[in-house]
Amino acid sequence: MNQVRVRAAAVRADATELRARASSLLQQSGAMGWNSKAGDALRERITEVATSLGGQAQALDDAATALEAHAHSVDDVKQAIRDAQLWVEDRWREAQTVAATAVETVQDVADAAVTRFMRVMVDTAANLQTGMVRIAVFTVAGVQVTAAAVDHAHEVITTIPVLPVGERREWLDVRSTYAARGWV
């Protein structure tokens, strides 16, 4: 967007130059020592031209302001894309790791040791007598994770199989997908 800002500055410089020309014309017109109907007509015409130049200068200023606003808006969108990219990449890579490396193990544990990470598999009479239960638990790199976390990771990777490359608008779409699905 630097080119747009450079162009805006050039347009603004053109506006300043037009205003200077208009001012110079008015000064020269006022200093003109020609007093007659023709001189008055010439001064009137010069005033009209100077006024027109002033209007053109204002139009150029408005165009420069619009160019600067556009450049600022583009910068804002680029920043939003970078923010979305960082946010999504972090969560997506975590989901990718969980989906790819989660291991479900089945084991017997004491009934009192069951945690929210564990899913009770079988509750047999033998287990009830020994105080043991058979559970299934997911682990990622030796850390227990819930079945819901594994399901969520698979859903993310299935919904978004690949990430956009580079600073592309699609990062905003992927971020919106996270929000729409309640993954935030």
pLDDT given at position 112: 60
Question: CATH no. for residue 75?
Answer: 1.10.287
Last residue of a domain, one of 62, 81, 100: 81
Give the Cβ contact number of residue 95 at 10 Å.
22
Distance CA 11, CA 64 (A): 6
184 within some domain: no
Q: Which two tokens stand for residue 88?
A: 């999504």
Encode pLDDT of 43-75 as tens digits.
Answer: 999 999 999 999 999 999 999 999 999 999 999
Q: Are 85 and 47 in contact (CB under 8 A)?
A: no
Question: Count of CB atoms within 10 A of residue 145's CB?
Answer: 19
Beta-carbon count within 10 A of 26 CB? 18
Q: Are residues 94 and 74 in the same domain?
A: no
pTM here?
Answer: 0.70
Mean predicted lDDT score pLDDT of the chain: 90
Percent of the chain with pLDDT over 70: 88
Beta strand 118-122 with 103-110: parallel, antiparallel or unpaired?
Answer: unpaired
Question: Which structural domain range is residue 26 located in?
Answer: 2-81
Q: Looking at the structure, tell me whether residues 72 and 104 fall in a common domain.
A: no
